[in-house]
Copies of this chain bind each other. A is one copy, B any other.
């Protein structure tokens, strides 16, 4: 029951040798999702051993090149690899047009379908779900329409306690009813409350990706209780005015969001190329939210399963 984020790039618009353009991979129960896709993403995938054919799709935050230029070469490579499975792309408008333009000149014979889903950047909407996961959009505040993404594990189905089955000699029909959340009536007429029979095997986990954005109190509310918050921290507090002007956050503002959200951990990234050492950014963030880490490229951030009982 994997739930982990792999950081592929931590740089901002101007890449450096040590900080590549934005891209994360989410692995949720061994299903893989790409979040943003800056130039060189396919090479970062190679470096961390993730076969692009395993990706279900990509969630693109906004249409600045450093978040999306890597998608076209990735599509081409998946074509060469013979991908047949459709690839979903969630992105703000007018990315559907951009894909159409791309097909006009490149990848004219792509052997798989790219299924575009337009993301309304003003809404907190459910974009995707499967049996274990929901992905929600987060309205960000950037200088162009931008969305963050919240990956939230669904509440898992009830498990029936082994000892309850034994004690009450439950039959198949009774076990099924208990799994549905119902109380169970025993043969002699006693009603056993569902709470005594069942438990949730684990607490749902959540990860949020918030880049590029100014600090947003609304986002902090929407990601309440998130286990791992990735929040951009392009600048230090000394460059606060520039952060505001360019639609970015300082490390302290990222930390403020994490603190208000009651996040488990905060990862900061999307650093301006002006910072060679990350100490100032880390210190400024930790002063507000101690559980902050500098996002490291190719590092895996695991959110361990939180088993409740038994």
**Does A198 reach chain B (CB closer than 8 Å)?**
no
**Does A14 reach chain B (CB closer than 8 Å)?**
yes
Q: Do B13 and A76 touch (CB < 8 A)?
A: yes
Count residues of chain A with CB under 8 A from any CB of chain B.
33
**Does A202 reach chain B (CB closer than 8 Å)?**
no
Q: Do A80 and B13 touch (CB < 8 A)?
A: yes
**Residues of B close to A15: CB separation below 8 A:** 42-43, 46, 77
Interface 0/1 of A78-99, CB less than 8 Å to B: 0011000000000000100110
**Residues of B close to A72: CB separation below 8 A:** 65, 69
Question: Nearest residue in B to A107 (C-beta to C-beta)?
Answer: B65
Interface 0/1 of A40-77, CB less than 8 Å to B: 10110011000000000000000111100110110011
**Does A2 reach chain B (CB closer than 8 Å)?**
no
Q: 12 A-B contacts, Cβ less than 8 Å apart?
A: A14-B77, A16-B46, A39-B40, A39-B42, A39-B70, A39-B73, A63-B105, A65-B76, A65-B106, A66-B73, A101-B101, A101-B104
Q: Which residues of A contact B (CB under 8 A)?
A: 13-17, 20-21, 39-40, 42-43, 46-47, 63-66, 69-70, 72-73, 76-77, 80-81, 94, 97-98, 101, 104-107
